Amino acid sequence: MHGDVSVDIRLLSENTINQIAAGEVIERPASAVKELVENAIDAGAKNIDIVIIEGGRKLISVSDDGCGMTAKELTLAVERHATSKLAEDDLTNIVTMGFRGEALPSIASVSHFSFKSRATGSDEAWKIEITGGKKSAVEPTALDRGSHVEVRDLFFSTPARLKFLKTDRTEFSQSLDVIKRLSMANP
C-alpha cells in the first residue's frame, strides 16, 4: 500500500507473456523471415523457397529440403526455450544461427501458424497449427521432405504492433534485404 493507492500485483497469463516476448523477438515481418530462413539453414537445407504476400503481413511461407523433424521434435520445436541447437546447455560452443528456442513460439503467438515437417528417412510427415498461441494436436500430413512453415496474418493478435509497420513495399524490402544477406553468407 502506497499512501491511499492500493497495488494489485498479479501474474500475467501465459498468452500475454508470450505476446510480450514475441514483440522482443519478432519486430516486423523481416524478423520472422530471418528466423525461419536461419532455421532452414541450420537444418542443412540446400534449397529454400520463400513466399511473402503483402509485405509479410498476410503470408510468409518458408519451405526447405533440410533434415526435417519427427512428431515429437515438432511438438517441442514450438515450445518456448526448446532447442536442438545448444548441446549440454553450453553457451560457449554455439555453431548454429539460432539457439535460444524463442523464434517459433514467438511467431506462433502472434499469427496463424502452420508447421509441417518430415524427418529424413521417415515415411511420415507431421503438422502442428497454432493460432494466437493455442496449439492443435500434432497430426499426420502430406509433405515430400524437409519442412514447410506458413505464417498467416502476422500480428493479428497484437493490433498495436500492426500500427508500427510500414508500407507493404517497405516491409517486403526489409525481408528481401535479410534474405540477400543470409544467402550471401550461405551460398
**How does pLDDT run across 78-117, given as a tens digit for each residue?**
987 655 544 554 544 444 444 446 889 889 989 999 999 9
* Cα separation, 108 vs 152, whole angstroms: 10
126 versus 85: the higher-pLDDT residue is: 126
Confidence check: pLDDT of 41 > 70: yes
Of 47-51, 76-80, 117-121, 147-151, the least confident: 76-80
Of 48-52, 73-77, 113-117, the least confident: 73-77
* Cα separation, 18 vs 8, whole angstroms: 22
Give the pLDDT confidence score for residue 20 in this predicted structure: 57
C-alpha cell at 102: 524463442
The helix (run of H) or strand (run of E) holding residue 49 is strand 48-53
Give backbone dihedrals phi and psi of 39, rounded to 5 degrees, phi first.
-60, -40
**Confidence class for position 179, pLDDT limits 50, 70, 90:** very high
* Cα separation, 52 vs 2, whole angstroms: 51
CB neighbour list of residue 80: distance below 8 Å, 6 or more residues apart: 18, 21, 101, 102, 105
**Pairing outcome for strands 139-141 and 125-131:** antiparallel
Using one digit for the tens of pLDDT, what is the confidence trace for 16-34? 666 555 555 688 999 999 9
Give backbone dihedrals phi and psi of 3, rounded to 5 degrees, phi first.
65, -125
Q: What is the pTM of this model?
A: 0.82
Using one digit for the tens of pLDDT, what is the confidence trace for 134-171? 899 999 999 999 999 999 999 998 888 888 999 999 99
Give the pLDDT confidence score for residue 17 in this predicted structure: 62
* Cα separation, 85 vs 43, whole angstroms: 10
CB–CB of 45/36 below 8 Å?
no
Residue type present at position 40: A
Give strand pairing partners of 49.
63
Count other C-beta atoms under 10 Å from residue 109's C-beta.
Answer: 29
